[in-house]
Amino acid sequence: MKILNIVPITSDIWTDEIDAYTTSKLLPDTIVTTKILTHGPASIECEYDEAYAIPEVIRLCVEGEKEGFDAVFINCFGDPGVRAAREMVSVPVFGGFEPAILYSLGMSDKVGIVTVLPNVVPMLEGLIAKNGLNSRVTSLRYVSMPVLDLFDLNKLIDALIEESKKAVDLDGAGAIVLGCTGMVGVKEAVEKGLADAGKPVPVIEAAQAALVLIETYVRMGWKHSRKTYMAPPAKKRVWWSGDAVEEF
């Protein structure tokens, strides 16, 4: 199957290492194609950033379905554009939040998220509330590192272990979700660090979780409900497109 991986930012941070890590758990015949944005923010760290990422994200989803992709991953933990895109396409569309959280609920009664910056906390609290999961996702902490600094893996791992310990000890979390899809390649070390500290709880990496959920949806033939995600009414819409104004 073919999955479109939309990295919803204009920074070209998708290296071969990241690609290999993120797709390492997928089936042999699952092909993941990555696209980044031409217009939008360098990274997503607030609702403002999301707002400028979403339009092109949706266009890539629509294009992707036409190009024959079986499903789309919007590679960001804030699920930017997920609901709007589902209105427009029939193939499965997921961001990073929903899959990681759903899988984590099968592991533990209470789950903690450790994300990047305080700026995204209200956004994620909003997602948790909208998903009706306030009694299950009981911890929301952050490492105080911007998205584009996450390449400093040692610093990231230490901070994740530190905050995860608090999530376990102070907030009752029994599983930790890494709350940014840019936290790549660190899950194993965080899990080990927690186990070494006497807190052997599972740690879920969101992009891997999302891709395997998407793969499952395609294998099972599952689609999102058209009762929740109705197709948008036809109407005139005006947009910039390259140099020209486009109507769609």
Does 20 engage in binding with a second copy (CB under 8 A)?
Answer: no
Nearest approach in angstroms of CB 178 to a second copy is: 14
Phi, psi of 204 (to 5 degrees): -110, 125
Quote the DSSP letter at residue 14: -
Nearest approach in angstroms of CB 247 to a second copy is: 10
Does 102 engage in binding with a second copy (CB under 8 A)?
Answer: yes
Structure tokens at 10: 């204009």
Q: Which single residue is written with the structure tokens 């629509």?
A: 62
Nearest approach in angstroms of CB 135 to a second copy is: 4
Contact indicator for 79, 98 with CB cutoff of 8 Å: yes
Residue 18 or residue 187: which is nearer to a second copy going by CB? 187
CA gap 218, 228 in Å, rounded: 19
List the interface residues with a second copy, window 77-96 (CB under 8 A): 81, 83-85, 87-88, 94
What is the total count of residues that contact a second copy (CB under 8 A)?
A: 93
Nearest approach in angstroms of CB 81 to a second copy is: 6
Residue 10 or residue 34: which is nearer to a second copy going by CB? 10
Does 66 engage in binding with a second copy (CB under 8 A)?
Answer: no
Quote the DSSP letter at residue 76: S
Does 12 engage in binding with a second copy (CB under 8 A)?
Answer: no
Beta bridge partners of 112: 139, 176
Residue 218's contacts (CB-CB under 8 Å, 6 or more residues apart) are 1, 3, 70, 71, 91, 92
Does 42 engage in binding with a second copy (CB under 8 A)?
Answer: yes
CA gap 135, 122 in Å, rounded: 17
List the interface residues with a second copy, window 185-244 (CB under 8 A): 199-202, 204, 208-209, 212-213, 216-217, 219-220, 222-230, 232-233, 235-243
